[in-house]
Chain A
Amino acid sequence: MKPLLRVEDLAVAFDTEGGELVAVDGVSIAVGEGEAVGLVGESGCGKSVTSLAVMRLLPEPPARIVRGRILFEDEDLAAAPEARLRAIRGQKVAMIFQEPMTALNPVLTVGVQIGEGLRQHRGLTAAAARKESIVLLAQVGIPAPEERIDAYPHQLSGGMRQRVMIATALACRPKLLLADEPTTALDVTIQAQILALLATLRRELSMSLLLVTHDLGVVADVVDRVVVMYAGKVVEEAEVRALFAGPRHPYTRGLLRSVPGFGDNAGKKRLPTIRGVVPDLRTLGSGCRFRDRCDERIARCDEAEPPLVELAAGHRVACFVAAGGA
């Protein structure tokens, strides 16, 4: 598969009152044409920062890309000027967020917001943009689109607003969609509708997807490949079936096992847990970032950070114990 997006050794730092905080530290991710990749991990692992950095949407300062490249169709977005980024955003790469209310402008009608991209990037006239917007609203499953196009965001339900945001993102037929927790704020039945919609649109438009989420159920249902992050690093990467059938990193294993609906957990008296909490990124020290919570820790884990090694075709793990056992 030809890679559409290649993030190489990306590091993002934030200037904070307590000094520099490296939120993403040497992350590499590739998304192929038409491929769906899931970026998973818990709060603060750097998954959202990574996706925002790809679009160069982080406020700089306080954020700073310390090193690495973000290659989209072989062009390095990490070094691109703002004018160039603006041309790419919305047109070739689009993004949807968890909370549609913050992404939509409350004082503009739905039609104006969808039409904006159409006029700016595709040069349509106001009348043509309106017509196209109605088609888009119908495509994302909004009933009576001729009426809803003149509605304001607050007049729509949460699921409807999420559909409007998707329609806005899809207006210019982007090649890559970045979706950051797109269904987290929605009820399960609405989540199911939105995920089904995304799958259909991806097929029809042969669009690539980078899905950022903490929900392992959503990942299992949607993506082709999974990248697991922990404390700013990629700890495991594999094809989705391989990952769920045989996770190799102790963190991935712990994460999967602690999901109440995973395997035979439903009949158990207690859920398996990962002890302790995520480390403070400012006081990491040397060694593996997961070592304090790991049951398989060996002496080497204190000395150096384990590199990401390929243990099987397409299955990479950053763990000395897993690599030694291979």
Chain B
Amino acid sequence: MKTILELSRVKKEFPIGGGLFRRPTGAVRAVDDVSLAVHEGETVGLVGESGCGKSTLGRLALRLLPVTEGRVAFEGRDITRLPESELRPVRRRMQIVFQDPMSALDPRMTVEEAVAEGLFAHRLVTTKAEARERVAALLGKVGLRADQLGRYPHELSGGQRQRVVIARALAVEPRFVVCDEPVAALDVSIQAQIVNLLSDLSEELGLAYLFVAHDLSVVRFMSDRVAVMYLGRIVEIAEADALYDAALHPYTQALLSAVPVPDPTQRDRPRVVLGGDVPSPSAPPPGCTFHPRCPIAEKGLCDRERPPLVELRPKHAVACHKAQP
């Protein structure tokens, strides 16, 4: 399978403190030495709790944010330092769908204008009639009616708005889409409709997704492979079923066991309840950053040495000193 996106040893630091006339007092390392490849037509899920860096990683992949260190390659070409003018044609092939469709859409633009904007910007159409035809076809593809062309965002429901955002992303015929919590703001029954739509589109158009979400069951449903992030690093990555059925990292195990199961007969299932909070990324603990909360941490090892991400089973890599294959 051909690689469409490749992140190599990517780091992203945000300055803290500082202001107009003051120097920053430090830096938060939001993404810390992450390497990740997404293949053509593949969906890679990215999970983790707030502040783990998963959304930042999605933005680095699209170069919506510049990396501090490392390399970003798209369709085999290094785009890490590509100037904006050369980046433009590349941008057409990579798109993003955000969590909140209301803030992603301009309230003064109709559905037609919002979806057609990209078509004109990338000169995919020249006339209004041509654009209308394309937009109508796109709306059909995402399950909206052509008579909704003239509607404004506030006249649509949350699910319909997210369909508009998806249509707009697809308008420029991307090969790779970052979906950042695309269903988190939607009700369960609508969430299922959008999840089905995204998965149909990937099959039909051969799209690759980086699917960023905190809802572990949605991610399992969508993804071929899943990466788990903790404090800016990938701690485990594997094929979806392998990760959910046989997680090797204690954090992944705790995360999975914390997910409420919609089955009251499983109420007394064994659970790993983690103590404490996620530490601040501005002062990460030494060694393995998970060790203060880890049930199997070894003194003298885990609090000193940072575990590398190693393939313990075929296609299943873990960053943990104590994980057993």
Q: A residues touching B (Cβ–Cβ < 8 Å)?
A: 42-43, 143, 157-160, 187-193, 195-196, 214-221, 240-241, 244-245, 254-256, 258-262, 265-266, 268-275, 277-278
Contacts and interface: CB of A to CB of B under 8 A. Distances in A.
A277 B258 contact: no
A212 B219 CA distance: 25
Given A193-B274, A271-B196, A217 B258 contact: no
Nearest to B275: A193
Q: Which of A193, A244, A245, A261 has the most CB of B within 10 A?
A: A261
A265 B273 contact: no
B18 interface: no
Contacts of B199: 269-270
Given A189-B273, A193-B275, A274-B192, 7 more contacts: A188-B259, A189-B258, A259-B262, A260-B221, A266-B244, A270-B199, A278-B157
A254 B258 contact: no
Interface in B156-186: 157-160
A255 B274 CA distance: 30
Interface string B227-244: 000000000000000001
Q: Which of A188, A195, A244, A255 has the most CB of B within 10 A?
A: A188
A215 B264 contact: no
B277 A190 contact: yes
Given A192-B271, A270-B196, A187 B262 contact: no
Given A260-B217, A260-B220, A265-B221, A217 B159 contact: no
Contact of A273 (B196, B216, B264, B277): B196
B220 A217 contact: no
B192 A271 contact: yes
Nearest to B221: A260
Given A259-B217, A277-B157, A191 B258 contact: yes
A4 to B, nearest CB: 22
B1 interface: no
Contact of B274 (A158, A189, A245): A189
A160 B280 CA distance: 14
A233 B49 CA distance: 35
Contacts of A160: 277
Interface string B202-223: 0000000000001111101100
B162 to A, nearest CB: 12
Contacts of A191: 258, 260
Contacts of A159: 277
Nearest to A143: B276
Contacts of A275: 193
B263 interface: yes
Q: Which of A190, A268, A275 has the most CB of B within 10 A?
A: A190
Contact of B273 (A192, A215, A217): A192
Contact of B189 (A192, A245, A255, A260): A255
A241 B268 CA distance: 13
Given A188-B216, A190-B277, A220 B261 contact: yes
Given A160-B277, A189-B274, A221-B261, A261 B214 contact: no
A262 B262 contact: yes
Contacts of A196: 273
B49 A220 contact: no
Nearest to B257: A192
B185 to A, nearest CB: 10
Interface string B35-54: 00000000000000110000
A193 B190 contact: no
A219 B192 CA distance: 19
B264 A255 contact: no
Interface in B270-300: 271, 273-278
Contacts of B190: 42, 277
A255 B188 CA distance: 7
Contact of A244 (B259, B264, B275): B264
Given A196-B273, A255-B188, A259-B188, A271 B195 contact: yes
Nearest to A221: B260
A325 to B, nearest CB: 23
B262 A189 contact: no
B191 interface: yes
Contacts of B254: 189
A280 to B, nearest CB: 10
Nearest to B200: A270
Contacts of B260: 191, 195, 215, 217-218, 220-221
Nearest to A213: B260
A43 B267 contact: no
Nearest to A242: B264
A219 B261 CA distance: 9
B91 to A, nearest CB: 31
Interface string B60-83: 000000000000000000000000
6 contacts: A43-B158, A187-B278, A240-B264, A256-B262, A260-B195, A278-B157
Contacts of B160: 277
A188 B189 contact: no
A275 B217 CA distance: 21
A270 B196 CA distance: 6
9 smallest CB-CB distances across A and B, nearest first, come from A217-B260, A261-B217, A258-B192, A187-B49, A192-B258, A42-B187, A260-B217, A271-B192, A274-B189
Q: Which of B188, B258, B271 has the most CB of A within 10 A?
A: B188
Contacts of A190: 49, 277
